[in-house]
Amino acid sequence: MKRIAILGSTGSIGRSTLSVAESYSERFQIVALAAGSNLEAAFEQALRWKPRLVSLHFERDAGALRARLKQTGLSDIEVVYGTAGTVKVATHAEADFVVSAIVGVAGLEATYEAVKAGKTVGVANKECLVAAGELITAEARRQGKPLLPIDSEHNAVHQCLRGGRMEEVERIWLTASGGPFLSTPRSEFSSITVEQALNHPTWKMGKRITIDSATLMNKGFEVIEACRLFHLPPAKVEVLVHPQSTIHSMVEFIDGSILAQFSVTDMRLPILYALTYPERIQSDMRFPVGNLRHLDFCPPDMNKFPCLRLAYEAAEAGGAKTVALNAADEVAVAAFLDDGIGFDDIPRIIESAVSASKSGTMGSIAEVLEADAEARRYAQERVFELQKKSAPRATSVV
């Protein structure tokens, strides 16, 4: 029986993890859940899973949950709140495996503490590897515990890497759907609408990651994540556009052999893989291999998608630059979604914020959070400038 703590239990990955646990209830026990501010969902999860511990973001929600659990005779479930509460979930003595799936920098500290506490951590939180990747992977190495990627690309890489040793890896190929604007001319990028950008061809996801997929920044983040997770320089992490998103990623070995992984596009598969690693267990998530017909590929266009280039540059610089990249992207995407700035303003804001940020490595999660806040402030100022300059709709320049 593997005992699981979930950071971000009411989000998409959290719910998929619980769905996997539901399907294999003889194998997995849920011991601790950290949710955000969705009291109703947290209450239902507590009722269903009867964990030892639940954490919510706000103190008042924690109080309300405690009261409702008492009414239903579940007063032995401990309810906590805030960052301290999340850390308590992440380091729960009974948990063997921690799923890190809180969106944004909010999950950083708890994930770091889980790794420090010697837990095996499944990472679905992008910021853990983009902003704090050097810190968290160094700690995992110290602990001698694997960091298991819970996203289709890095999970695919993890699987392909089993075909050899790390010293035998020539390079990694991350596949990218190319997003909705793969064939849109560069000249039309300034007039791309929010609706167009939210229309992702292969995956249904949250809004920010959908926009990040449209700018290819999501693939850029994945390049950084791959560098951190697999200890590779950016030059050894390549991107290949593959519109069907069938092949999730590939590993090229020094002898010239390439291994590729594919499967259905269902997040429960990488979750199951991480939860059962190094074992594999039977699932009903079958890709109909016999129905394969066409797979297409092309190289990414870094001129059309400057976010990808910015990510490579930040990956090379490391430390504070990757923190700024992530922070500025979040601000710029939010501004685009609120219709304040143009689609092609997103890379402009990010480039400006990364360029203005300090460089150097991050010594602690506190430093990461500080650099993050600073980059956010800077990017937000650039957004305000843009909004002032051009009303009703920005089309250019920082």
Task: State in angstroms the smallest separation of the CB of 310 from a copy of itself.
Answer: 21
Residue 28, classified by CB atoms within 10 Å of its CB into exposed (0-12), middle (13-18) or buried (19+), is buried
Minimal CA–CA distance to 326: which of 350, 305, 296? 350
- Can you give the three-state secondary structure of 238-280, one letter per residue? EEEECCCCCEEEEEEECCCCEEEEECCCCCHHHHHHHHHCCCC
If the CB atoms of residues 149 and 340 are measured against a copy of itself, the closer one turns out to be 149
Contacting residues toward a copy of itself, per CB under 8 A: 159-160, 162-165, 168, 173, 238, 240, 247, 250, 252-264, 269, 272-273, 276, 279-287, 289-290, 292-299
If the CB atoms of residues 24 and 104 are measured against a copy of itself, the closer one turns out to be 24
Residues 6+ apart with CB under 8 A from 279: none
If the CB atoms of residues 290 and 392 are measured against a copy of itself, the closer one turns out to be 290
Task: State in angstroms the smallest separation of the CB of 231 from a copy of itself.
Answer: 18
If the CB atoms of residues 41 and 264 are measured against a copy of itself, the closer one turns out to be 264
If the CB atoms of residues 106 and 271 are measured against a copy of itself, the closer one turns out to be 271
Task: State in angstroms the smallest separation of the CB of 252 from a copy of itself.
Answer: 6
Handedness of CA 31, 37, 39, 45 (dihedral sign): negative
Q: How many CB atoms lie within 10 A of CB 136?
A: 28
Task: State in angstroms the smallest separation of the CB of 284 from a copy of itself.
Answer: 8
Q: How many CB atoms lie within 10 A of CB 364?
A: 12
Task: State in angstroms the smallest separation of the CB of 265 from a copy of itself.
Answer: 11
Minimal CA–CA distance to 322: which of 352, 354, 346, 349? 354
If the CB atoms of residues 283 and 390 are measured against a copy of itself, the closer one turns out to be 283
Residue 304, classified by CB atoms within 10 Å of its CB into exposed (0-12), middle (13-18) or buried (19+), is middle
Task: State in angstroms the smallest separation of the CB of 163 from a copy of itself.
Answer: 5
